[in-house]
């Protein structure tokens, strides 16, 4: 390469660098100006070391809860029986699907790895518009009711370890027809209740358009609904786990 | 322009996502102390924790658990119950503070304007467990506010977007409520109250991604028995609910689904938001 070419290259590269530095400086100045103009308070960077974080403050989920498959399978085989359950009666490895669940997308049921608690057939809870979504180790069942009310039932195997006394030392209620104690809480827009059954956490939310309506002014309707949520369906994955756990 | 300055921060913050398969750790600064910040993603998606220190922009905020004077007995838990979430509003600044113990609130009747400058300025203030008649086991009194109230950038209704905190599914749509259940364990339930119903961009059981627009923040308080629309102040009421379990000394295991304090997680998410985390998804 001739010295003239080398010099030309050096001039070009130098020029590019100079422009880059100039633009970068201008942009940095712009950024600085914009930052101070757009906020009333100057934001300053603060360095934090992860080493300083108290591990007790990191709330991580525990391994999925161990399910009492034996009790769940027994309940899933209780009446009423539909055609799918007739098959289950002949083949203990077949999923046990109750009437409501039989109307829901099978794919969602089959990938759910826990007992799917659902309203009992012919009970007080309307099931005609039920919709379900599965997360694998959790599911959420939405049940629109009359007068702008809706129930949402969630089952979840994934929980975080609570501090000592956070559950045991707090108020839990007895609900007629329900074996477990239940945490009942009023919401800004309704009521919620949660309880543990088969090793799984179940939550029932009641959302109300009119909080002053008879069904929402007290927890009476929610309590009756909880007592009505008693059927269990087990999809393919759940049944596989139950079988692996030795349940026949 | 600002992006150039923030690139180093973005590269670090980009690692910190809940429920997107990239869950890692991040750190936040908090005026309450370094221990009130949290870092590692509690989502069971991949959780390769970072050990490097990172710089995030600080902003004026009172410590977690420090409520407005006379507004309640508060709570004690400083945990970050939802590390790595997106700040639930698309636009900054936003102002976490009380809707009752501020101008326009029922506890300040002599100052009727909810648009008072005091409401739309820093510092942030925690209002989880603020006095309410509703039960809340995490509150010292056993009763109190179940979430954190956040005012949007300005005192205008139906203008600012609420966005999804993590990848999940819409599991509730009420007259003033949208709930997102996170895909990742422990499947936290995030409840958004007071959004404008007609603006909602999601429907029941839609899947959403972190930062996705849900609806506009408004003053919607639902309807009364006569079908009349009711109003509150312009704000987002943001709740986090998490399933918890406690094993007693005799081996008995109890479980409950409780509201947890969002403030520490919100401070952390806001700092990351200011650093460029959580771009809004249409």
Range of the domain at B152: 95-275
Q: Is residue B6 part of a domain?
A: no
> What CATH number is given to the structural domain containing B262?
2.70.70.10
Q: What is the pLDDT of residues B13-23, one digit of tens each?
A: 332 233 332 22
> In A185-207, which positions are buried (b, 16+ CB within 10 angstroms) versus exposed (e)?
bbbbbbbbbbbbbbbbbbbbbbb
Contact B175, B243 (CB under 8 A): no
- Does B220 score more than 80 pLDDT? yes
Which of B25, B35, B136 is nearest residue A54 as measured by Cβ atoms? B35
Cβ of B40 and A58 within 8 Å?
Answer: yes
Phi, psi of B161 (to 5 degrees): -85, 140
Give the model confidence (pLDDT) of B47-58 as tens digits.
Answer: 333 334 567 889
pLDDT band at B73 (very low <50, low <70, confident <90, very high): confident
pLDDT digits (tens, 9 = 90+) for B94-134: 999 999 999 999 999 999 999 999 999 999 999 999 999 98
Q: Is residue B69 part of a domain?
A: no
Q: Which residues of B touch A44 (CB under 8 A)?
A: 57-58
Give one DSSP letter per residue of B116-179, joined into a string: -GGGGSSPB---TT-S-SSB-TTSTTSB---SEEEE-SSS-TT-SEEE-SSSEEEEEE-SSEEE
> pLDDT band at A7, cuts 50/70/90?
very low
Please count the structural domains in chain B.
Answer: 1
Residue B2 has pLDDT above 90, yes or no: no
Q: Which residue has the higher pLDDT, A15 or A169?
A: A169
Q: CB of B249 within 8 Å of any CB in chain A? A: no
Q: What is the pLDDT of residue A49?
A: 33
A18-44: average pLDDT:
36
Does residue A197 have a pLDDT over 50? yes
Average pLDDT of the residues in A182-210: 96
Cβ contacts of B275 within 8 Å, gap of 6 or more: B6, B9, B10, B13, B56, B57
Are B39 and A60 an interchain contact pair (Cβ–Cβ within 8 Å)?
no
In this prediction, residues B255-269 reach a mean pLDDT of 96
Report yes or no for ipTM above 0.85: no
Q: Is residue B43 part of a domain?
A: no
More confident residue, B207 or A103: B207
- Interchain proximity A160–B171, CB inside 8 Å: no
Q: B237 lies in a domain?
A: yes
What pLDDT score does A51 carry? Answer: 34
- The answer to whether position B254 is within a domain reads yes
Confirm or reject contact between B258 and chain A (CB < 8 A): yes
- Asked whether residue A48 carries a pLDDT value surpassing 60, the answer given is no
- Does residue B248 lie within any of the structural domains? yes
Q: Which residue has the higher pLDDT, B228 or B266?
A: B266
Range ranked top by mean pLDDT from A25-29, A82-86, B241-245: B241-245
> Across all residues in chain B, what is the average pLDDT?
83
Give me the mean pLDDT over the A184-212 stretch: 95
Flag whether B214 is in a domain.
yes
Please tell me the distance in Å from B79's CA to the nearest CA on chain A.
4
- Better pLDDT: A42 or B279: B279
Does residue B242 belong to any structural domain of this protein? yes
Of A28, A47, A135, nearest to B5 by CB-CB distance is: A28
Task: DSSP for B166-199, please give it.
Answer: SSEEEEEE-SSEEEEEESSTT--EEEEESB-GGG
């Amino acid at each position: 390469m001739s010295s003239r070419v080398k010099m030309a290259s050096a001039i070009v590269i130098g020029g590019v660098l100079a422009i880059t530095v100039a633009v970068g400086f201008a942009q940095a100045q712009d950024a600085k100006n914009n930052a101070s103009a757009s906020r009333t308070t100057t934001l300053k960077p603060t360095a934090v070391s992860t080493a300083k974080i108290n591990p007790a403050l990191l709330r991580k989920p525990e391994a999925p809860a161990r399910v009492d498959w034996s009790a769940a399978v027994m309940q899933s085989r209780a009446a009423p029986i539909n055609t799918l359950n007739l098959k289950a009666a002949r083949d203990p490895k077949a999923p046990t699907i109750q009437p409501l669940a039989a109307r829901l997308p099978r794919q969602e049921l089959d990938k759910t790895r826990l007992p799917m608690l659902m309203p009992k057939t012919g009970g007080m809870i309307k099931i005609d518009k039920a919709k379900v979504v599965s997360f694998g180790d959790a599911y959420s069942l939405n049940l629109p009711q009359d007068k702008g009310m809706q129930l949402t039932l969630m089952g979840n195997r994934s929980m975080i370890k609570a501090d000592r006394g956070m559950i045991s030392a707090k108020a839990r209620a007895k609900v007629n027809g329900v074996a477990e104690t239940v945490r009942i809480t009023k919401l800004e827009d309704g009521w919620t209740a949660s309880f543990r059954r088969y090793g799984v956490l179940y939550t029932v939310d009641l959302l109300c358009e009119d909080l002053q309506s008879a069904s929402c002014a007290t927890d009476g309707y929610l309590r009756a609904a909880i007592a009505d949520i008693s059927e269990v369906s087990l999809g393919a994955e759940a049944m596989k786990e139950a079988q692996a756990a030795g349940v026949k | 322009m600002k992006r150039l300055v923030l690139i180093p921060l973005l590269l670090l913050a980009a690692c910190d996502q809940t429920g997107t398969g990239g869950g890692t750790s991040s750190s936040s600064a908090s005026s309450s102390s370094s221990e009130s910040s949290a870092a590692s993603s509690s989502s069971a998606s991949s959780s390769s924790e970072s050990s490097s220190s990172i710089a995030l922009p600080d902003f004026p905020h009172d410590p977690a658990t420090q409520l407005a004077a006379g507004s309640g007995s508060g709570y004690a838990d400083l945990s970050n119950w939802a590390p790595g979430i997106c700040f639930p509003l698309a636009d900054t600044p936003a102002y976490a503070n009380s809707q009752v113990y501020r101008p326009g609130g029922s506890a300040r009747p002599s100052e009727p304007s909810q648009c008072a400058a005091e409401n739309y300025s820093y510092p942030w203030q925690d209002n989880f467990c603020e006095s309410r008649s509703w039960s809340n086991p995490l509150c010292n009194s056993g009763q109190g506010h179940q979430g954190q109230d956040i005012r949007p950038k300005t005192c205008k209704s139906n203008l600012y977007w609420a966005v999804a905190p993590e990848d999940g599914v819409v599991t509730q749509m009420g007259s003033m409520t949208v709930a997102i259940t996170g895909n990742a364990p422990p499947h936290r339930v995030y409840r958004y109250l007071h959004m404008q119903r007609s603006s909602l961009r999601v429907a029941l059981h839609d899947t959403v991604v972190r930062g996705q627009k849900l609806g506009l923040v408004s003053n919607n308080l639902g309807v009364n028995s006569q079908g009349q629309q009711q109003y509150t102040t312009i704000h987002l009421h943001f709740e986090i609910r998490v399933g918890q379990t406690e094993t007693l000394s005799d081996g008995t295991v109890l479980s409950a689904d409780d509201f947890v304090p969002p403030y520490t997680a919100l401070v952390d998410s806001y700092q990351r938001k200011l650093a460029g985390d959580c771009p809004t998804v249409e």
